Structure 1
Amino acid sequence: MFSKIGIIIFSSIIFSCGVGQNQSQNIETNSPAEIEAKKIYNKAKMAEGYLPGRIIYSELADDCEYTIQLKDGEKDFYYVDPINLNENFKRNGQTVWVKFGGLGRMNRCEKAAPVSIIEIENRDE
Protein backbone atom coordinates (compact mmCIF):
# COMPACT_ATOMS: atom_id res chain seq x y z
CA MET A 1 0.00 0.00 0.00
CA PHE A 2 2.80 2.41 0.89
CA SER A 3 4.51 1.72 -2.41
CA LYS A 4 1.37 2.66 -4.36
CA ILE A 5 1.01 5.90 -2.42
CA GLY A 6 4.73 6.59 -2.89
CA ILE A 7 4.46 5.99 -6.62
CA ILE A 8 1.45 8.30 -6.85
CA ILE A 9 3.21 11.08 -4.91
CA PHE A 10 6.43 10.62 -6.89
CA SER A 11 4.47 10.68 -10.19
CA SER A 12 2.60 13.81 -9.12
CA ILE A 13 5.85 15.59 -8.28
CA ILE A 14 7.47 14.60 -11.57
CA PHE A 15 4.37 15.56 -13.54
CA SER A 16 4.04 18.95 -11.84
CA CYS A 17 7.71 19.73 -12.47
CA GLY A 18 7.31 18.82 -16.13
CA VAL A 19 4.27 21.05 -16.51
CA GLY A 20 6.10 23.96 -14.89
CA GLN A 21 9.02 23.57 -17.29
CA ASN A 22 6.72 23.59 -20.32
CA GLN A 23 4.92 26.69 -19.11
CA SER A 24 8.15 28.58 -18.60
CA GLN A 25 9.24 27.67 -22.12
CA ASN A 26 5.95 29.00 -23.54
CA ILE A 27 6.38 32.45 -22.00
CA GLU A 28 7.04 34.89 -24.81
CA THR A 29 10.49 36.42 -24.70
CA ASN A 30 11.63 39.31 -26.78
CA SER A 31 15.20 38.79 -27.83
CA PRO A 32 17.12 41.74 -29.22
CA ALA A 33 16.74 40.23 -32.71
CA GLU A 34 12.95 39.99 -32.31
CA ILE A 35 12.74 43.57 -31.06
CA GLU A 36 14.83 44.80 -34.00
CA ALA A 37 12.73 42.81 -36.49
CA LYS A 38 9.55 44.35 -35.05
CA LYS A 39 11.02 47.86 -35.37
CA ILE A 40 11.94 47.20 -39.01
CA TYR A 41 8.45 45.82 -39.72
CA ASN A 42 6.79 48.85 -38.08
CA LYS A 43 8.94 51.26 -40.12
CA ALA A 44 8.03 49.40 -43.32
CA LYS A 45 4.30 49.62 -42.51
CA MET A 46 4.58 53.35 -41.89
CA ALA A 47 6.55 53.78 -45.12
CA GLU A 48 3.59 52.14 -46.90
CA GLY A 49 1.32 54.84 -45.47
CA TYR A 50 -0.17 52.94 -42.53
CA LEU A 51 -0.58 54.50 -39.11
CA PRO A 52 -0.63 52.50 -35.88
CA GLY A 53 -3.90 52.91 -34.00
CA ARG A 54 -6.15 51.49 -31.32
CA ILE A 55 -9.90 50.95 -31.58
CA ILE A 56 -11.80 52.76 -28.81
CA TYR A 57 -15.42 51.99 -27.95
CA SER A 58 -17.66 54.48 -26.15
CA GLU A 59 -21.21 54.30 -24.81
CA LEU A 60 -21.31 57.99 -23.87
CA ALA A 61 -24.12 60.14 -25.25
CA ASP A 62 -23.05 62.42 -28.12
CA ASP A 63 -19.84 60.42 -28.57
CA CYS A 64 -18.84 58.30 -31.55
CA GLU A 65 -19.45 54.63 -30.83
CA TYR A 66 -16.10 53.57 -32.34
CA THR A 67 -13.08 55.76 -32.93
CA ILE A 68 -9.47 55.06 -33.75
CA GLN A 69 -6.92 56.55 -31.37
CA LEU A 70 -3.73 57.69 -33.11
CA LYS A 71 -0.52 59.07 -31.62
CA ASP A 72 0.33 62.71 -32.11
CA GLY A 73 3.92 63.00 -30.95
CA GLU A 74 5.29 61.28 -27.87
CA LYS A 75 2.47 61.89 -25.38
CA ASP A 76 -0.60 63.21 -27.17
CA PHE A 77 -3.34 61.37 -29.01
CA TYR A 78 -6.02 62.33 -31.50
CA TYR A 79 -9.07 60.43 -32.66
CA VAL A 80 -10.70 59.76 -36.00
CA ASP A 81 -14.25 58.56 -36.62
CA PRO A 82 -14.20 55.76 -39.22
CA ILE A 83 -17.54 55.86 -41.02
CA ASN A 84 -16.93 52.48 -42.71
CA LEU A 85 -15.35 50.41 -39.92
CA ASN A 86 -15.76 46.69 -40.64
CA GLU A 87 -17.50 44.60 -37.96
CA ASN A 88 -14.32 42.49 -37.57
CA PHE A 89 -12.55 45.54 -36.12
CA LYS A 90 -15.22 46.61 -33.63
CA ARG A 91 -13.37 45.40 -30.53
CA ASN A 92 -12.39 47.87 -27.83
CA GLY A 93 -8.62 48.05 -27.41
CA GLN A 94 -7.83 46.18 -30.63
CA THR A 95 -4.62 47.48 -32.20
CA VAL A 96 -4.61 48.10 -35.94
CA TRP A 97 -2.63 49.40 -38.87
CA VAL A 98 -4.84 51.82 -40.79
CA LYS A 99 -4.85 53.98 -43.91
CA PHE A 100 -7.67 56.48 -44.20
CA GLY A 101 -8.81 59.53 -46.08
CA GLY A 102 -10.38 62.62 -44.56
CA LEU A 103 -13.95 63.58 -45.35
CA GLY A 104 -15.31 67.06 -45.88
CA ARG A 105 -18.42 66.50 -43.83
CA MET A 106 -19.81 67.45 -40.47
CA ASN A 107 -18.45 65.60 -37.41
CA ARG A 108 -20.68 62.94 -35.84
CA CYS A 109 -19.04 63.55 -32.46
CA GLU A 110 -16.97 66.24 -30.81
CA LYS A 111 -13.65 64.47 -30.31
CA ALA A 112 -13.10 62.87 -33.72
CA ALA A 113 -13.04 63.93 -37.36
CA PRO A 114 -14.85 61.63 -39.80
CA VAL A 115 -12.65 59.52 -42.08
CA SER A 116 -13.10 56.79 -44.66
CA ILE A 117 -10.94 53.72 -44.11
CA ILE A 118 -8.93 52.78 -47.17
CA GLU A 119 -7.14 49.78 -45.62
CA ILE A 120 -7.05 48.29 -42.13
CA GLU A 121 -5.16 45.33 -40.66
CA ASN A 122 -4.70 43.78 -37.24
CA ARG A 123 -1.54 44.85 -35.46
CA ASP A 124 0.11 42.65 -32.86
CA GLU A 125 1.22 44.57 -29.82
Structure 2
Amino acid sequence: MLSKISISILLFGFSVLSCVSSQNKSLNVETNSPAEIEAKKILGEKMMADGYLPGRIIYSDLADDCEYTIQLKDGDKDFYYVDPINLDEIFRRNNLTIWVKFNGLRRMNRCEKAAPVSITEIKNRDE
Protein backbone atom coordinates (compact mmCIF):
# COMPACT_ATOMS: atom_id res chain seq x y z
CA MET A 1 0.00 0.00 0.00
CA LEU A 2 1.28 3.44 -0.96
CA SER A 3 1.79 6.04 1.69
CA LYS A 4 0.37 9.55 1.50
CA ILE A 5 3.85 10.92 0.76
CA SER A 6 4.36 8.51 -2.15
CA ILE A 7 0.97 9.43 -3.61
CA SER A 8 1.76 13.13 -3.23
CA ILE A 9 5.10 12.68 -4.99
CA LEU A 10 3.43 10.74 -7.84
CA LEU A 11 0.72 13.37 -8.28
CA PHE A 12 3.31 16.15 -8.27
CA GLY A 13 5.38 14.26 -10.86
CA PHE A 14 2.37 13.79 -13.16
CA SER A 15 1.39 17.44 -12.88
CA VAL A 16 4.93 18.57 -13.75
CA LEU A 17 5.06 16.23 -16.75
CA SER A 18 1.67 17.40 -18.01
CA CYS A 19 2.76 21.04 -17.75
CA VAL A 20 5.99 20.37 -19.64
CA SER A 21 4.25 18.52 -22.45
CA SER A 22 1.57 21.22 -22.82
CA GLN A 23 4.28 23.93 -22.90
CA ASN A 24 6.01 22.14 -25.76
CA LYS A 25 2.74 22.08 -27.70
CA SER A 26 2.08 25.76 -27.04
CA LEU A 27 5.46 26.91 -28.33
CA ASN A 28 4.24 26.25 -31.87
CA VAL A 29 7.75 26.48 -33.29
CA GLU A 30 7.68 26.80 -37.05
CA THR A 31 10.18 24.56 -38.74
CA ASN A 32 10.72 24.82 -42.43
CA SER A 33 12.08 21.79 -44.17
CA PRO A 34 14.48 22.30 -47.08
CA ALA A 35 11.64 21.31 -49.44
CA GLU A 36 9.35 24.02 -47.99
CA ILE A 37 12.09 26.63 -48.29
CA GLU A 38 12.75 25.64 -51.90
CA ALA A 39 9.02 25.76 -52.72
CA LYS A 40 8.75 29.29 -51.28
CA LYS A 41 11.79 30.36 -53.29
CA ILE A 42 10.30 28.97 -56.51
CA LEU A 43 6.94 30.65 -55.78
CA GLY A 44 8.70 33.96 -55.15
CA GLU A 45 10.59 33.72 -58.44
CA LYS A 46 7.35 32.90 -60.29
CA MET A 47 5.49 35.84 -58.72
CA MET A 48 8.30 38.24 -59.59
CA ALA A 49 8.41 36.86 -63.15
CA ASP A 50 4.65 37.60 -63.34
CA GLY A 51 5.35 41.23 -62.44
CA TYR A 52 4.56 41.19 -58.71
CA LEU A 53 6.78 42.93 -56.17
CA PRO A 54 7.18 41.67 -52.61
CA GLY A 55 6.05 44.27 -50.11
CA ARG A 56 5.00 44.89 -46.53
CA ILE A 57 2.07 47.00 -45.32
CA ILE A 58 3.20 49.66 -42.84
CA TYR A 59 0.75 51.51 -40.60
CA SER A 60 1.45 54.96 -39.16
CA ASP A 61 -0.61 57.18 -36.88
CA LEU A 62 1.81 60.11 -37.04
CA ALA A 63 0.56 63.52 -38.09
CA ASP A 64 1.23 64.41 -41.75
CA ASP A 65 2.06 60.78 -42.56
CA CYS A 66 0.19 58.34 -44.78
CA GLU A 67 -1.91 56.00 -42.68
CA TYR A 68 -0.95 52.93 -44.75
CA THR A 69 2.03 52.61 -47.04
CA ILE A 70 3.67 49.69 -48.79
CA GLN A 71 7.35 49.18 -48.04
CA LEU A 72 9.29 47.84 -51.04
CA LYS A 73 12.90 46.76 -51.21
CA ASP A 74 15.29 48.69 -53.43
CA GLY A 75 18.52 46.73 -53.75
CA ASP A 76 20.08 44.85 -50.87
CA LYS A 77 19.61 47.33 -48.03
CA ASP A 78 17.40 50.26 -49.06
CA PHE A 79 13.63 50.51 -48.84
CA TYR A 80 11.17 52.87 -50.46
CA TYR A 81 7.50 53.47 -49.81
CA VAL A 82 4.42 53.90 -51.97
CA ASP A 83 1.04 55.28 -50.92
CA PRO A 84 -1.74 53.01 -52.21
CA ILE A 85 -4.83 55.17 -52.75
CA ASN A 86 -7.08 52.12 -53.22
CA LEU A 87 -5.86 49.68 -50.55
CA ASP A 88 -8.66 47.25 -49.73
CA GLU A 89 -9.76 47.04 -46.10
CA ILE A 90 -8.66 43.38 -45.76
CA PHE A 91 -5.06 44.40 -46.43
CA ARG A 92 -5.01 47.20 -43.82
CA ARG A 93 -2.91 45.32 -41.25
CA ASN A 94 0.49 46.46 -40.02
CA ASN A 95 3.41 44.26 -41.15
CA LEU A 96 1.25 42.16 -43.48
CA THR A 97 3.45 40.75 -46.24
CA ILE A 98 2.03 40.97 -49.74
CA TRP A 99 2.67 40.54 -53.44
CA VAL A 100 1.61 43.68 -55.31
CA LYS A 101 1.33 45.20 -58.78
CA PHE A 102 0.62 48.91 -59.10
CA ASN A 103 0.68 51.91 -61.41
CA GLY A 104 2.26 55.19 -60.42
CA LEU A 105 0.01 58.23 -60.31
CA ARG A 106 0.74 61.74 -61.45
CA ARG A 107 -0.81 63.58 -58.56
CA MET A 108 0.22 65.42 -55.45
CA ASN A 109 1.64 63.28 -52.64
CA ARG A 110 -0.55 62.79 -49.56
CA CYS A 111 2.54 62.31 -47.40
CA GLU A 112 6.22 63.16 -47.68
CA LYS A 113 7.78 59.68 -47.66
CA ALA A 114 5.62 57.88 -50.26
CA ALA A 115 4.58 58.38 -53.86
CA PRO A 116 0.89 57.76 -54.66
CA VAL A 117 0.06 54.56 -56.58
CA SER A 118 -3.01 52.70 -57.72
CA ILE A 119 -2.96 48.98 -56.92
CA THR A 120 -3.85 46.81 -59.89
CA GLU A 121 -3.35 43.43 -58.14
CA ILE A 122 -2.54 42.42 -54.59
CA LYS A 123 -2.16 39.04 -52.89
CA ASN A 124 -1.32 37.92 -49.37
CA ARG A 125 2.20 36.50 -49.10
CA ASP A 126 3.11 33.86 -46.54
CA GLU A 127 6.59 34.01 -45.08
With the shorter chain as reference, the TM-score category is 0.7 to 0.9
SS of 1:121's partner is strand
Q: Residue 28 of structure 1 corresponds to which residue in structure 2?
A: 30
Q: Residue 15 of structure 1 corresponds to which residue in structure 2?
A: 18
* Cα displacement (A) at 1:71: 0.6
Of 44-53 and 4-13, deviating more is: 4-13
Of 9-18 and 50-59, deviating more is: 9-18
* Cα displacement (A) at 1:21: 5.0
Task: Decide whether aligned partners of structure 1 residues 109 and 10 sit closer, same or farther in structure 2, where only a CA change above 3 A counts.
Answer: closer
Name the CA distance, whole Å, in 2 between partners of 1:21 and 1:61: 44
Residue segments in structure 1 that go unaligned for 5+ positions in a row: none
For the aligned residue pairs, the C-alpha RMSD in angstroms reads 1.9
Task: Decide whether aligned partners of structure 1 residues 63 and 19 sit closer, same or farther in structure 2, where only a CA change above 3 A counts.
Answer: closer
Q: TM-score, normalised to structure 2's length?
A: 0.84
Q: Residue 44 of structure 1 corresponds to which residue in structure 2?
A: 46
Query: What is the aligned-residue identity percentage?
Result: 67
Q: TM-score, normalised to structure 1's length?
A: 0.86
SS of 2:111's partner is coil
Residue segments in structure 2 that go unaligned for 5+ positions in a row: none
1:52-76 deviation line (CA, Å, top 9, x unaligned): 1111122222221111010111111
* Cα displacement (A) at 1:82: 0.3
Q: Residue 58 of structure 1 corresponds to which residue in structure 2?
A: 60
Name the CA distance, whole Å, in 2 between partners of 1:6 and 1:106: 73
Q: Residue 112 of structure 2 corresponds to which residue in structure 1?
A: 110
SS of 1:37's partner is helix
1:30-86 deviation line (CA, Å, top 9, x unaligned): 222221111111111111211111111222222211110101111111111100011
